[in-house]
Amino acid sequence: KAGVTQTPRYLIKTRGQQVTLSCSPISGHRSVSWYQQTPGQGLQFLFEYFSETQRNKGNFPGRFSGRQFSNSRSEMNVSTLELGDSALYLCASSLTGFNTEAFFGQGTRLTVV
């Protein structure tokens, strides 16, 4: 079956703009989590959505938001981009999130200039 699909793969944005990243989970998976990966901070949890509800949230400013649709696809939005938002954004899906394996997408590389 198809894996986790993240689009776009690469993105270049200007400081102050906003951006939306998309994640399509594996069919049947209802939990989608987002992570930010940077050389300085490593991998950090952003948030998790389950059945269209945010179930868990990491320690990121309110400029980072997300949502999940009824088909479990998820979007992540970053407003008022800063240079420090340049990162690889990874999405992971799992059946329920509880005690089930997380499968990762290939990520979206965001560069803010």
Partner 1 sequence: AQTVTQSQPEMSVQEAETVTLSCTYDTSESDYYLFWYKQPPSRQMILVIRQEAYKQQNATENRFSVNFQKAAKSFSLKISDSQLGDAAMYFCAYRSTGTASKLTFGTGTRLQVTL
* 108 within 8 A of 6, measured Cβ to Cβ: yes
* Residue among 64, 69, 65 at smallest CA distance from 25: 69
**Residue 106 lies near partner 1 (rule: CB under 8 A):** yes
Extract the tokens encoding 84: 């420090």
CA end-to-end distance (rounded Å), the chain: 37
**Residue 24 lies near partner 1 (rule: CB under 8 A):** no
**Residue 102 lies near partner 1 (rule: CB under 8 A):** yes
According to CB under 8 A, which one of 31, 36, 68, 74 is a site residue for partner 1? 31
Residues at the interface with partner 1 (CB under 8 A): 31, 33, 35, 42-43, 45, 48, 50, 55-56, 58, 88, 90, 92, 94, 97-107, 109
